[in-house]
Structure 1
Amino acid sequence: MQYRRFGRTELSMPVFSCGGMRYQQTWDDATLDVVEDANQQNLRATIHRAIELGITHIETARGYGTSERQLGLVLPEIRATRPVEAKGGPDGLIVQTKIAPHANPKEFRRQVLDSLDRLKTDYVDLLGLHGINTYEVFWHAVKPGGCLEEARKLQREGRVGSVGFSTHGLTDLIVDAVNYQGAGGFDYVNLHWYYINQWNWPAVEAATKNEVGVFIISPNDKGGLLYKPSDKLVELCQPLHPIVFNSLFCLRRPEVHTLSLGASQPSDFDLQVSSLPLLDKADERLAPILARLRRAMVEAVGEDVADHFRDGLPTWEEGDNAGYINTHIVLWLRNLALAYDLTEYGKMRYNLLGNGGHWFSGLNAAHLDTMPTERLEKAYKDSPFADRIAGWLREAHELLGGAEVQRLGRD
């Protein structure tokens, strides 16, 4: 395993983290009596495999159903047998959980303490304020006496180590949160950045400037369902598996400290770990693949569209013009489906629009044809593709629309 300094936390972070949102029994906030023995044994084996590989960062969240409670059956037994090591926390493990900011910071505190009890520990190395996706949630975190101040109190009491946040928000919000200095600011950020979605790079740069640790969320799932990639993507990424390609793409940047691996079973680590010996020549190995991926996108949608489809588009919040359609996301998913055959991924994400709350905001284009033409013209007048966007949105809905997808949890 390789390790990187996790910003100002000073933790020695493995470049892969064991994320806890795919191996739990259920997404319901249920008690342990619903957990089947086979599921718990699989979870235990997955954690042991991670540690065997040197993946000392175990990451979960209160919103991951039974994940915390199930980990609470495993972590104490692991810690009882581990020697004190230089890497990670006092016993070589880095344990992280995440709690959503609350309008009432006392409720946030209560939930943190309850999560510690679920994990059967009196201390976590990393506490994340989960889901700073809107400025309203950001305000719950940073207002005077808010959840960030409460987290710092817990830190002074010896309950938590470093304090960070996770986000699915727009880049400007993430940058504002990373730059925030009140109550000590945030020590690390969990955000999305990988090959198919590089929009948040300015936030990564801001994090680097502020010595904020950078944790990449869900590079294999939200990064394109890479554990079951399309045949076309497999071909374009040869001789690497798409998971190995994406791992190298992210980790070649020293500003990126760790990638979350939401393992569902012990073998899920194998492909990621196989990328480590390739890191020393990552740019050389990636160059022909990046060229093929670029060529496929240009052939599918055209160079101008590939580079500038987002230019001049209203955000989904400017819904009085755009009908609350998240046009950025819809067109992005269309392009990925056309260029890389990421249709299954596109359907998963497209049909979540309208059902994902502030975790995946805005609507899809199902209601596009109920909107007056003049309203659409006003919405997209600043786009260089103003006369083509409505057609692209219809195409996306025909390609990706279907049954609504309900969000199971928060990543």
Structure 2
Amino acid sequence: MRYRRFGKTNLHLSVFSLGTMRCLDSEYITRQTVQYAVALGINHLETASRYGKSEEYLGAALRSGLALPRDRLCITTKVPPTPDPDAMSRSIEQSLKNLKLDSIDCLAIHGLNTWEHLEWVQNGCIKAIQEAVRDGKVRHVGFSTHGSLDLILATINTDLFEFVNLHYYYFWQRNAAAVELAHQKDMGVFIISPADKGGRLYTPPPTLKDLCHPLSPLELNYRFLLSDPRITTLSLGAANPAELSEPLSVADRDFPLTSLELQILERLQTHQDDVLGKDKCSQCYACLPCPENINIPEVLRLRNLAVAYNMTDFGKYRYAMFENAGHWFWGVKGNRCTSCGDCLPRCPEQLNIPDLLKETHQRLNGAPGRRLWQ
């Protein structure tokens, strides 16, 4: 296991962190998973008040005795934004009670996803958080986000936070500028769900497996991230001890990308360009805003992946979240397009966006999706 400095917190975290969102089945399995993760070198354990009984299960695991003493572990929990400082104070106290801790190493605003959330923080709950820091109940403060790039950059520029949890993967590099700005400001960078939201890479389609050979798609994505020195740690959302083995097989490989890996990445890009041809969306986001609130770039990104790499199951999984996940995954489905043509003159590729949206809907529409803890 390799360790990296978590920005200005000056904590040194393992390059993989155990995220406990999926540790929902039982206290016993959570304890086993946590104990095994720590034994394998993970020193950062992450949970949230909204993850069912995850905080309580993690608290019980900490009390059961681990291979590392408490002062060598970093515990992060996340609480939702609120305009009410008193509500934030109560949330922090409840998390401390659930975790059975006197202090939380890292507290993150959970899901700072909208401009309203940012306003709530700046003019409301940040006061309670800063008071908790002064009282020694919280050591370091950050935020997690599924929001737009503009919002993330604005939030980083408030200089209120020491770390950020965000999405960034080989198959979705939209937040590259946020990773760079956080690095410039010496913030810790925590990558959310690289295996699942990064493409459901633990169950890759044969096309993608062949293109990534001799690496697995999951291994390649981990290497893409671990080779980036701006990134501190990657979330590993294991639901049981067995799910730790494959990811941690690359936990000591945080060196620059090898010539073989670079060749594979070039192969992936060339294949996508060849298959998609003139229908490839370059993800420039110039098509937004859409009058119907369609998240056009994301819909077309899912199409890119499904057509080029046969990542249809992943596309269906994410597409089902539209209209069902609120601010966690904004936008409506492609069939809402009215062919108004508002986006067409802004597209540098001159894509027939209305036709592609409707085709993507036919390809990927399925059962509605919801957040795991719902």
TM-score (norm 1): 0.87
Letter in 1 for 2:209: V
Corresponding residue for residue 358 of structure 2: 394
- 1:124-143 mapped onto 2 (5 Å cutoff): 124-143=104-123
Aligned match of 1:347 in 316, 336, 340? 316
Task: Say whether the 8 Å CA contact 1:133–1:168 is kept in structure 2.
Answer: yes
- 1:96-175 mapped onto 2 (5 Å cutoff): 96-143=76-123, 146-175=124-153
Corresponding residue for residue 14 of structure 1: 14
Aligned match of 2:28 in 23, 41, 49? 41
Task: Say whether the 8 Å CA contact 2:344–2:352 is kept in structure 1.
Answer: no
- Quote the Cα distance in structure 1 between the aligned partners of 2:65 and 2:35: 8
Gaps of 5+ in 1: 26-38, 84-89
Aligned match of 2:297 in 325, 328, 334? 328
Distance 1:280 1:206, change over 3 A: closer
Say whether 1:403 aligns with 2:367. yes
Task: Say whether the 8 Å CA contact 1:312–1:380 is kept in structure 2.
Answer: no
- Quote the Cα distance in structure 2 between the aligned partners of 1:149 and 1:337: 45
Corresponding residue for residue 229 of structure 2: 254
Provide, for residues 347-387 of structure 1, a one-character-per-residue CA deviation record: whole Å limited to 9, x for no partner: 0111110111000001011333xx2x4x2x12332113455
Aligned match of 1:57 in 44, 47, 52? 44
Letter in 1 for 2:78: K
Q: Secondary structure at the match of 1:308?
A: coil
Task: Say whether the 8 Å CA contact 1:366–1:401 is kept in structure 2.
Answer: no
Q: Secondary structure at the match of 2:72?
A: coil
- Quote the Cα distance in structure 2 between the aligned partners of 1:68 and 1:60: 6
Letter in 2 for 1:12: H
Aligned match of 2:306 in 312, 333, 337? 337
- Quote the Cα distance in structure 2 between the aligned partners of 1:307 and 1:213: 31
Letter in 2 for 1:66: K
- 1:200-279 mapped onto 2 (5 Å cutoff): 200-279=175-254
Say whether 1:190 aligns with 2:165. yes
- Quote the Cα distance in structure 2 between the aligned partners of 1:114 and 1:149: 17
Corresponding residue for residue 329 of structure 2: 360
Aligned match of 1:313 in 287, 294, 316? 287
Provide, for residues 292-351 of structure 1, a one-character-per-residue CA deviation record: whole Å limited to 9, x for no partner: 21122112212x654635352113xx4xx2x11111110010001011111111101111
Larger deviation, residues 40-49 vs 96-105: 40-49
TM-score (norm 2): 0.96
Structure 1 position 281, deviation (Å): 5.4
Structure 1 position 96, deviation (Å): 0.5
Letter in 2 for 1:290: L
Q: Secondary structure at the match of 1:393?
A: helix
Corresponding residue for residue 35 of structure 1: none
Letter in 2 for 1:222: K
Task: Say whether the 8 Å CA contact 1:300–1:335 is kept in structure 2.
Answer: no
Distance 1:301 1:99, change over 3 A: same
Task: Say whether the 8 Å CA contact 2:76–2:105 is kept in structure 1.
Answer: yes
Letter in 2 for 1:351: A
Task: Say whether the 8 Å CA contact 2:306–2:315 is kept in structure 1.
Answer: yes
- Quote the Cα distance in structure 1 between the aligned partners of 2:127 and 2:258: 42
User: Identity over aligned residues, as a percent?
Assistant: 40
Corresponding residue for residue 23 of structure 2: 23
Aligned match of 2:54 in 49, 52, 67? 67
Letter in 2 for 1:105: P
Say whether 1:283 aligns with 2:258. yes
Distance 1:214 1:399, change over 3 A: same
Task: Say whether the 8 Å CA contact 1:138–1:177 is kept in structure 2.
Answer: yes
Distance 1:177 1:309, change over 3 A: closer
Structure 1 position 48, deviation (Å): 0.8
Structure 1 position 147, deviation (Å): 1.5
Letter in 2 for 1:409: W
Provide, for residues 114-141 of structure 1, a one-character-per-residue CA deviation record: whole Å limited to 9, x for no partner: 0110111121100000111111001111
Distance 1:210 1:275, change over 3 A: same
Structure 1 position 104, deviation (Å): 1.0
Distance 1:149 1:284, change over 3 A: farther
Aligned match of 1:176 in 117, 140, 154? 154
Q: Secondary structure at the match of 2:361?
A: helix
Count of aligned pairs: 374
Gaps of 5+ in 2: none
Structure 1 position 238, deviation (Å): 1.1
- Quote the Cα distance in structure 1 between the aligned partners of 2:50 and 2:258: 37
Letter in 2 for 1:379: C
Distance 1:277 1:162, change over 3 A: closer
Structure 1 position 230, deviation (Å): 1.2
